[in-house]
Structure 1
C-alpha cells in the first residue's frame, strides 16, 4: 500500500501530548471537566475515568453492576482510573493501580467534526484476566479519523465471571459491565457530538470474544450497530465455559479459600465476599459462561442457527500469531523438531490425536518446495498455533454470518514493525511495538489482535519513523472501513495488510 511520509507529523508523533486547557461537557450523566490536547493539528477533548456504574464492592461484589444515577456538581475527568483487580506481572500489566472499584470509561472527542460523528468503543483483551481500558490511548484515532473513541473497563477473572447460577453471582458480570458501558454511551454520547446509532464496538482477543458474545446476546442487540473482531471469536478455545465447567471452577475456588461448599450458595458467597479481592487473582481462567440467560446455551449452535445480531462485521487474525500462544505455553518455537511439535499439539490443541492425525497435519503444513528446511517444524508449529485458536474460528464465524446475509469483511494482518522485539521470521504476533499511554510515539502497537492497532498501549517509546509512516494509510483506511463496512457483495470480502 502507498505510504505518505510526512516529516512534520513524524516529529510530532515523538512529542508528548500537549495539554492546553480544560474541556467541559454537560451530559445526562452530569457535568464533566476533562483535558484539552493538541494532536496533529486537531484539538481532542479527553475525559478520563468517567463512572458508569455503582462500584461493585461489598454486597455488590459478584452481582451485575447497577446503573449510576446522575451526579451533582462537576466531575473531574482528568485522571486515568484504576484498572480492575488482576495479577501485576510486568509486560502484561496495566500501568495504573488496580482496584475493585474500577467501572469507569474514557472518552476521546475530536473537535471540529460535524455533530453526529461515528463512535468507536474499544473492549480490551487479556484472556478475561488482565488489561484495562485506560491502558489504550484513543486520542490519535479520534484526531486522525474524526471519530469519537471510548475505552472501557470491565471486571476480570473471579470478580467478573464467578458463576453460581444465582443472581448473587450469575456469571458474565464482566460482559454485563461492558453492556452497561454501552448503554451509557447510548444515553450520553450525543452530548459529546456522537451519533448513538453509529456505534462500532471493536476489540482484540478476549475483547473480540466479548464482542462475539454481544452479537449473540439478546440484551445487547440495541447498543451497537457494527463490530470488529480482532483475533478472537466465540469459538476461541478455552475462552467460553459451559454451566457445569463454570460451576466446577466456583467450587474449586471456594474450597481453596476455605469457604463452605456444602451449606448452600448464600453461605459460600458470604465467605467469598469476606475475602480480600487480591485473593481472587488465580491461575485458573474464569471466563464467560453459556448460561442460557444473558447468553445462549451453546455458541456454536447459535452461529449455525443464525440467532445473532445481523450487524456488519470485520473479522480476522495475524500472521505468525501462534508464536505468542506457544511461547506463553512454554514452548521454544525457534528450536522446534518433530518431537516438540507433537508435544505442543498435544498440549495446546488436542491430547487425543493419533500418529495418523499428526502425519496429516504435518503433510498439510509442510512447505513442499523446501521440505528439508531446518525451520520446517518451527514454521509448521507457528502456523498451526495460529490457525487453531484464531484463523479457523474466524473463518467459521465469517461463514456463519455471511450465510445469513450479514456483510462481512475478513482480513489477515502481516505487517512487521521495524523495531519489533520478536525473531526476524515473525511478522505480526503481539505487542511488536510498545507505546506509553501518555506519549505519542506511534499508533499501531498491540499486534496480536490489532490489524488496525490505532489505540496505543503502554511500553517503550522508541518507535521508528518507518513504522509511523505506515500508520496513516493503515489506520485511516481501516477506520473508514469500520465506519462504513459496505462491501460490494453479501459474501465475505478479503482485506490484507503486509
Structure 2
C-alpha cells in the first residue's frame, strides 16, 4: 500500500508540474539577450556595462554606479589620482626591502613593468630546485580611503625589490572551532594578516624554461578565509616535476573584499577586481620569468573555482587567460553570489554590529565609519546567523565585472569559449556538516544518524517549505532500509554536497560542452590514509589539493606508494591540460597511460581519480542533480503560495494546520488554477504523510 501511495504521489506531482510549466511557457515574455562582447577588447579602456539583469537589481536609492555618476575611476586601471596615496612603493615590511640598483647580471633579478625584483632559489621536498619571487606588489595598499574600493595600480619603483619571502595574508577570521586540530588548522593563515596584502608569487622550474605554460592558482575559502601561502599549496613540487610556471595571488576576502553599497567608495566585488588586476600583471610580465603570456591556465578550488568560472563569464577578464580548471566550485553554486539588495542589507547589519550608522539613508555615514573600524573587528562581526555554506560577503552582479547572473550567462552562451577541466569529490558535504551540525556530526569515528535525526537535519540544512523538504527526504532516503543510521549519515553528506558543489559543477560543464567546447570531468574518490579526519568522512571537500600540488611526493608526509602514484598521475593530467589543452596528451606528444575522454552532453563522461580505480563513469550523480536542477525548482515554484519557508521541524507540522495556512495564503490570488493546484498538493501531502515520515 505504501509503495502505491508513493507512486501515485510522484505521478500526480509530475502531471501537475507539466501542466503548470506549459502554462508558464505561454505567458512568459521573450527575454532580452545581450550581444557577447567583442573578443578583442581594449582592456585598459573598457566601459562599464548595464543589462536587463542589473536593471532588475537596481537599488531604488542609489541606482547604478555607472549610470548615476558613481563609477569607480580605478575600474579601468588607469593611473590613480587618489590624493595622498601615490605609491612610491615601500613594501609590506619596510624601506630596507628596497636595495640599490645592482645585480644586472644576477639571474634572480627580473625586470617587470613596474621595476626590478630579486627572487630566491628554493629546494622542493623532492630535492629539485626552483626559482621563486615571493610577494611582488601588483596594486597599491588598499588601506585608509582605499579600503573597500577597487584596486589601484602601483607606481614604478627605483632600485631592486627583494621578493624573497611569502607575503601577508589578507585580514580574515581564524578558525578555532576544533582548536589546533590539524584537519582544520591547516587552512588558517600561516603568514601575518594585514590589509596590506595585494601581492603575487611566481615560481619557475630550475633551469628556467622559455615560453613555458603558466598555471595561475586562485585559492578558495568561501570568500571569507584563505591565503595563497598555505603549506598545502606547495608550488615547488608541481613546478619542478611538471616544468610549468606557477603563479598565485593574494586577493581581498571578507567584507574588505566584497562589501557592497552601490557607491563609488564601496562598489562591491573588490576581491574579484584584485584578481583581475593580478591577471593583467601576469599577462604583462610573465614573459620576463620564462612564461608564455598566451598560454595561461587559471585553476582554483571551491571559492577559487567560483572565481575562475566568473573570469570565464566576465567581459573584463575573459581575454587575459587561455583556459581554466575548476575544482569543486562553479559560479552557479547557491553560495557563490547574492543579490545586490541582500548584500546591502548584510552590509548595514555589519555596520550596526560595529556601532556605525546603519540605515539606508545613512549609507555615506556608514561607509565613513566602517573605514575607521579596525579590520579585525570588522571580520569578527561578519557572520551573524547564516546557514550552511552561506558566506556573509560574496560577489554580486555589479554591472561591470558581472553584467548578469551566471545562470543566464550560461544559458545565453555569454562566456569565454575555451577548454575547461572540472570536477568534484565524493564526500563534498561532510566537511561543512561537521561545522554546521556540531552536536550530531562530531570529528570522531562511529557517527550514526537515526531516522528522526535525519529528518530534523534536513529541516535545518534546507531553508525550504514543508513540501519541498519532504521531497528532499524522499529522494535521499534508502527505502530498502530507511532506518539505517550509516546510510542516513551518508545521505546528509550527499544532500549538502550535491546541492552546493557537485550538481553546480555538472551544470557548468554541461553548458560548456553544449556549446561545443572541449570539457574534461573528474570525480575524486580517494581518502588519504594520513587524513586526520575520521574514516567515515571520505574524500572531503578540498582533499584533491594535496595530490594536485604533489604533497604525497614529500617523503616526510608518509603517504602510501599508491598515493604517490595517484599524485603523479593527477599532476601530469593538470600540467598536460595547461600545456596542450588535453590532460592525456603531453607537450612531447606522448599519451598518459590512462586515457581521459572528453565530457559530452550525450555521454556525460567523467574519469574516476582513485588509487584503485580509473573507471570512466557517467554523471556523476545524474539522477540527484536532475532532482536539484530540474524537479525541485518547479516544485518550489508551484508550492510557493502554500507553505511558508521556515526552519521548523517538518515532523511537528500537522497537515490540517498547513492546509488552513495554505488557503489563507491563497486568499489574495484569485486564479482557480492555483486554487485547484493547492487542493491537489495538499491531498498529496495527506496521502503521503505516513509513508515518507
Q: How would you bin the TM-score normalised by the shorter chain?
A: 0.7 to 0.9
- 1:175-213 CA-to-partner distances (Å, cap 9, x unmatched) read 000111111100110000000111111111111111111
Aligned counterparts of 1:37 and 1:261: Cα–Cα separation in 2: 50
Match of 1:387 among 492, 498, 503: 498
Where does residue 109 of structure 1 map in the other structure? 204
Greater per-residue helix proportion: 2
Structure 1 distance, partners of 2:484, 2:578, is 40
The answer for unaligned runs of 5 or more in structure 2 is 1-105, 177-184, 385-391, 442-446, 583-595, 611-693
Counterpart of 1:257? 354
CA deviation string 1:390-415 (max 9, x = no partner)? 11111111111111122111110011
CA, structure 1 residues 265+240, in 2 after alignment: closer, same or farther (shift >3 Å)? Answer: same
- Contact map agreement 1:82 1:98 (CA 8 A) in 2: yes
Confirm or deny that 1:283 pairs with 2:390: no
Question: Which 10-residue stretch deviates more, 211-220 or 334-343?
Answer: 334-343
Cα distance, 1:137–1:104 mapped onto 2, change above 3 Å: same
CA RMSD across the alignment: 2.5
Give the Cα–Cα distance (whole angstroms) in 1 for the partners of residues 358 and 512 of structure 2.
42
SS at match of 2:111: strand
Matched, 1:123 2:218: yes
Aligned equivalent of 1:402:
513
Q: Note the C-alpha offset of 1:291.
A: 1.8
Secondary structure at the aligned position of 1:95 is classed as coil
Matched, 1:340 2:453: yes
For residue 80 of structure 1, report the CA deviation from its aligned partner: 1.0
Superposed, which structure 2 residues align to 1:481-496 within 5 Å? 481-486=577-582, 491=600, 493-496=605-608
Cα distance in 1 between the residues matched to 2:208 and 2:576: 15
Per-residue CA deviations over 1:258-280 (Å, capped at 9, x if unaligned) read: 22245543322111111111121
Give per-residue Cα distances to partners, 1:426-453, cap 9 Å, x unaligned: 33104xxxxxxxxxxxxxxx41x63853
Alignment equivalent of 1:221, drawn from 315, 318, 328? 318
Q: Please give the alpha-carbon distance, in whole angstroms, between the structure 2 residues aligned to 1:478 and 1:261.
A: 47
| Shift, 1:232, TM fit | 0.8
- Aligned partner of 1:304 in structure 2 is 411
Tell me the distance in 1 between the aligned counterparts of 2:577 and 2:546: 12
1:39-94, CA deviations, whole angstroms, 9 ceiling, x for partnerless residues? Answer: 44643101111110000001111110011122211111111111000012351311
The corresponding residue for 1:43 is: 129
Of 63-72 and 177-186, more deviation after overlay is shown by: 63-72
Per the TM alignment, residue 490 of structure 1 is displaced from its structure 2 partner at its CA by: 7.3
Secondary structure of the corresponding residue to residue 425 of structure 1? helix
1:157-306 alignment, distance < 5 Å: 157-262=254-359, 264-281=362-379, 282-284=382-384, 285-306=392-413
Q: Deviations over 1:322-356 (max 9, x none)?
A: 11121121253422122222222222233324364
Counterpart in the other structure of 1:424: 535
SS at match of 1:195: strand
Q: Tell me if 1:361 matches 2:475.
A: yes
Query: Partner residue of 1:435?
Result: none
Determine the C-alpha separation between the residues in 1 that align with 2:145 and 2:128: 45
SS at match of 2:261: strand
Show the counterpart of 2:572.
476
Q: 1:367 to 1:118 in 2, by over 3 A?
A: farther
Alignment correspondent of 2:586: none
Per the TM alignment, residue 314 of structure 1 is displaced from its structure 2 partner at its CA by 1.0
Counterpart-to-counterpart distance in 2, 1:451 and 1:95: 17
Match of 1:321 in 2: 428
Q: Rate the CA distance shift 1:489–1:470 in 2: closer, same or farther, 3 A.
A: closer
Q: 1:311 to 1:452 in 2, by over 3 A?
A: farther
1:61-76 equivalences in 2 (<5 Å): 61-76=147-162
Contact kept in structure 2, 1:318 and 1:451, CA below 8 Å: no
Distance change (3 Å), C-alpha of 1:186 and 1:283? same
**Alpha-carbon distance in structure 2 between the residues aligned to 1:404 and 1:58:** 45
CA distance in 2 between counterparts of 1:252 and 1:426 reads 35
**173-182 or 279-288: bigger deviation:** 279-288
Aligned counterparts of 2:574 and 2:367: Cα–Cα separation in 1? 45
| Partner SS state of residue 298, structure 2 | strand
Report the TM-score when normalising by structure 1: 0.86
- Which residue of the partner structure matches residue 489 of structure 2? 378
Secondary structure of the equivalent of 2:570?
helix
In the alignment, which residue of structure 2 is the partner of 1:56?
142
Separation of aligned partners in 2, 1:465 and 1:246: 46
Q: Deviations over 1:99-128 (max 9, x none)?
A: 010001111011235411000111101110
User: Cα–Cα, structure 1 residues 360 and 89, in superposed 2: closer, same or farther, change >3 Å?
Assistant: closer
Q: Secondary structure at the match of 1:115?
A: coil
> What SS class does the counterpart of residue 218 from structure 1 fall into?
coil
2:547–2:566: 8 Å Cα contact kept in structure 1?
no
Q: Distance in 1 between matches of 2:599 and 2:528?
A: 33
Q: Which runs of 5+ in 1 are unaligned?
A: 1-20, 431-445
Aligned counterpart for 1:142 among listed residues 236, 239, 242:
239
Larger relative strand fraction: 1
Distance 1:267 1:372 in 2: 56
Superposed displacement of residue 218, structure 1: 0.5
CA–CA distance in 1 between the matches of 2:362 and 2:318?
35
CA gap 1:150/1:377 in 2 versus in 1, 3 angstroms: same
Q: Distance in 1 between matches of 2:357 and 2:216?
A: 40
Runs of 4+ in 1 over 4 A off after TM superposition: 370-374, 487-490
Aligned residue-pair number:
458
Range 37-46 or range 88-97, more displaced:
37-46
State the 1:157 CA deviation.
0.6
**CA contact 1:22–1:35 (8 Å) conserved in 2:** no
1:141 counterpart SS class = helix
